[in-house]
Amino acid sequence: MDLRRSRLYVRAKVVKADGTALDDTDTSSIVNLPLQAMWAQMDVYMNNKLVSLNTSNYPWKAYINTILTSGTDEQKSQLQSQLFMKDSGDLASTDGKNGANTGLILRRDFIKNSREFEMEGPLFEDIFSLDRHLIQGVDLYIKLYRSSDQFFVISGEDTPLTSYSC
């Protein structure tokens, strides 16, 4: 197994807190780089031994790494498979429908009416940046911990009425 080429694939959708579908009046959107932001923590085990840091800063690590190592061309093409859409305009805007943040509006288009969307991208744990293959007989186990709805969904309301499932 080539650790460096390992990828995470997720099919997800955003729904209201009661499980019903979003409608056209909802202004909620999702944060930038949602494939990575939906996970608060990632634990990686090899032969039942934890080989990753046991911290809840995974989305920050992934976002900072992505911003620092990718150029504009990559952000406008390859990173869109992770729904990376650069925020621009009014960064404080929480209105994904009529706000002034173009990235937020583009990401809202993927979730409107609770449409399922797919994302695919790399894993941002140190073990997956090694240019080595995993040898036979070594068991690899990855445990992902979800981020809270409030971290993942951007809403202008104090208590977001939306949730996500994958």
Per-residue pLDDT of the chain (166 residues; tens, 9 = 90+): 899 999 999 999 998 888 888 888 888 889 999 999 999 999 999 999 999 988 889 999 999 999 999 998 998 899 999 999 998 887 777 777 778 888 998 999 989 999 999 999 999 999 999 888 999 999 999 999 999 988 988 887 655 566 677 6
Do the Cβ atoms of 139 and 51 come closer than 8 Å?
no
pLDDT computed for residue 162 by the predictor = 67
User: What's the pLDDT tens digit per position in 34-68?
Assistant: 999 999 999 999 999 999 988 889 999 999 999 99
Structure-token pair, residue 91: 């960064």
Residue 2 φ then ψ, to 5°? -90, 105
Domain residue limits, the chain: 3-165
Place of tokens 């073990």: 127
Strands 7-16 and 162-165: antiparallel
The residue type of 114 is S
pTM for the model stands at: 0.86
Q: How far apart are the first and last CA of the chain?
A: 25
Do the Cβ atoms of 8 and 122 come closer than 8 Å?
yes
Fold adopted by 3-165:
Hexon Major Viral Coat Protein; domain 3 (3.90.249)
DSSP 132-164: -BPPTT--EEEEEEEPPHHHHEE-SSSS--EEE
